[in-house]
Amino acid sequence: MDEYQTYYQLCVVSCVKEKRDLEIYIQSLEPLSLTVMPISVDRILIQALFFEEKRTPGLTDVSWTVLTEEMWNEPDVVLINGLVVQCPKTVFGHGKHPTTQLCQEILAGVSLEPTMHLVDVGTGSGVLSFLAWQSGVTSIEAIDIDPFAIEIARQNARDNAIAEEMFSVADLFDWQPQRKADVLIANLPIDILEKAFDRLRDWVALDGLMILSGLTTTWTAKLEALMISSATILKKEQVDEWVCYLLRRTV
């Protein structure tokens, strides 16, 4: 087994509409040697320990978070820029995940002003919105399709004396921001970034900034092909195989 020493933890939270759907989903996943744990009548937690060669066993149509063994052992409550933040591993984008860290680094280099409007798509635990708030931006709309993520983000806001009203449950394909963003952050799985790029770009003011992450080097050429006609790449940062972009909307 020496050639298989690199392995990953898979953690997925999935939403289902009916209890019957939940039962069917569990039955379909159990043969894949995944541990499936109902959280409530409409949500389940899926966990698996599997080798790199089997990274997507039957789950290619599900958005998921890959956690290394080291990351899996990270505490769920972390200190980020002086803020005490709950980052459950069942929320996509753990505060210490490379994509979140890359977004933090790029956001720290952006000149944020109090008059700016920021949109945070796929906010997760709210980390990136909190950092923008610390920089003086109070006009923030932060959304996530996962109700549990928004529940955690709001609790984190209360724990750190930050306005929780910025956070709301929403599907980005059915939602519109209240106004054009001066800065938009989207730390999302590549399949969603690819489908939603034009929509996300249209939410940004002309000459506004976009911070995009959630993809690996495997997908950079494909995403850059989508950007080329309407955005300029100002910065491209990488940690291991993970990549983050800072873009300026041009048209």
Higher pLDDT, 146 or 235: 235
Which ranges of the chain would DSSP assign to H, the alpha helix?
A: 19-29, 69-72, 98-108, 127-134, 147-159, 190-202, 220-227
- Fill in the amino acid letter for 9: Q
Amino acid residing at 100: T
Report how far residue 236's alpha carbon sits from residue 110's, in angstroms, rounded to the nearest whole number: 14
- Report residue 221 as tokens: 């050429």
Q: Is 71 exposed, middle or buried (0-12, 13-18, 19+ CB in 10 A)?
A: middle
Confidence category of residue 191, pLDDT binned at 50, 70, 90:
confident
pLDDT tens figures, 199-231: 999 999 999 999 999 888 989 999 999 999 999
pLDDT for the residue numbered 62: 38
Q: pLDDT tens digit string along 127-153? A: 999 999 999 999 999 999 888 889 999
Structure-token pair, residue 122: 């796929």
| pLDDT of 8 over the 90 cut | no
Half-sphere exposure of 167 (CA within 13 A, CB side): 28
Q: What is the mean pLDDT of residues 19-33?
A: 53
CATH topology (fold) of 77-249: Rossmann fold (3.40.50)
Could you tell me how far CA 10 lies from the centroid of its own chain? Answer: 15
Domain layout of the chain by residue ranges: 2-72, 77-249
